[in-house]
Amino acid sequence: MSQISTEIGRQIRIFRKKRHMTLDDLSQRICKSKSTISKYEKGEIPVDIETLYEIAQALQIHVEQLLCCLPGRATLSETKDSPAFFAGCSQFYSYLFDGRNNQLTRCVFDVLSETSDSAYKIMMYMNFKDFDDYRTCENTYWGYIEHYDALTHIQLTNQDTPIEKASVQILASYLDADTKWGLWNGFSSRPMMPIAMKMLFSKTRLHEDAALAQKLKVSREDIRLLKLYNMLSVL
């Protein structure tokens, strides 16, 4: 059996279990036998491209999430019109602090494909245990990253709960730096309500310690500016 078939089968099994589906459930949805699905998951037989799309649709995920790797991952352009912070990136990271459980939340963004001169399709994986297996995560979002003159905008939809949408605004991304602050806003699923949180972006993984958590918490200066401008802003 090939490594590609083994890894794709593993991803199918992970998402099937995540959806609380049995082999029978999946086999009925894609009109394949239970034994065939089992062989797919064990990597004993390869999955043809049409069946792969059918499986992704049955599992309510994007087909890219079943791939064992992303060798064709797109790279954000490095032209003079591109933001310096993201130029040349095919993957980047972000962090936020969830006060409901007093924990850091880590995210990985994969750049999947270019859709126009200024927009790219992306996938965001949020809240996972291991960077080596980041696609096995609590929440998966897909969407687009777009660049404007002084702003980078990320628009996202939760893969598991399509009603849950989010967006991020990152100011001055045309200026290069090790990290950039952004404002994450959208709906929370615990409970479903509008929220806005500080999110720190980085081109490399950051050391997850108390200092990073403190940076991500709402500070006295944040509260001062909130009262001054009557709006939540991240500088």
CA 208: distance to chain centroid?
19
Q: What is the pLDDT of residue 50?
A: 94
Please give the Cα distance from 165 to 176 (Å, whole number). 28
Beta-sheet strands, E only, within the chain: 91-98, 103-114, 119-128, 137-147, 151-158, 165-171, 179-189, 192-202
Contacts of 221 (CB under 8 A, 6+ apart): none
Q: What is the pLDDT of residue 84?
A: 82
Phi and psi at residue 173, to the nearest 5°: -70, -10
pLDDT for residue 208 is more than 90: yes
Band the pLDDT of 71: cuts 50, 70, 90.
very low
Q: What is the pLDDT of residue 68?
A: 62
Band the pLDDT of 104: cuts 50, 70, 90.
very high
pLDDT for residue 213 is more than 90: yes
Mean pLDDT, range 16-45, rounded to an integer: 92
Q: What is the pLDDT of residue 169?
A: 93
Q: What is the pLDDT of residue 203?
A: 93
DSSP assignment of 124-168 equals EEEEES-GGGTTSEEEEEEEEEEE-SSEEEEEEEESS-TT-EEEE
Q: How far is CA 21 from CA 27, 78, 201, in A?
A: 10, 43, 35
* Mean pLDDT over each residue of the chain, to the nearest integer: 87
pLDDT for residue 160 is more than 80: no
Q: What is the pLDDT of residue 210?
A: 95
Q: What is the pTM of this model?
A: 0.77
Phi and psi at residue 10, to the nearest 5°: -65, -40
Q: What is the pLDDT of residue 173?
A: 83
Mean pLDDT, range 34-47, rounded to an integer: 92
Band the pLDDT of 67: cuts 50, 70, 90.
confident
Quick one: CA dihedral 134, 136, 141, 143, positive or negative? Answer: positive
Please give the Cα distance from 197 to 182 (Å, whole number). 9
Count Cα neighbours of 119 within 13 Å in the Cβ-side half-sphere. Answer: 9
Count Cα neighbours of 4 within 13 Å in the Cβ-side half-sphere. Answer: 8
DSSP assignment of 170-191 equals EETTTS--SEEEEEEEEEEETT
Mean pLDDT, range 52-60, rounded to an integer: 93
pLDDT for residue 189 is more than 70: no
The two three-digit tokens of residue 194, written as one number: 């509008």
Nearest C-alpha neighbor of 43 from the set 20, 77, 90, 11:
11
What residues form DSSP beta bridges with 199?
182
How much of the chain exceeds pLDDT 90, in percent? 52
Please give the Cα distance from 97 to 79 (Å, whole number). 33
Q: What is the pLDDT of residue 86?
A: 87
pLDDT for residue 63 is more than 90: no
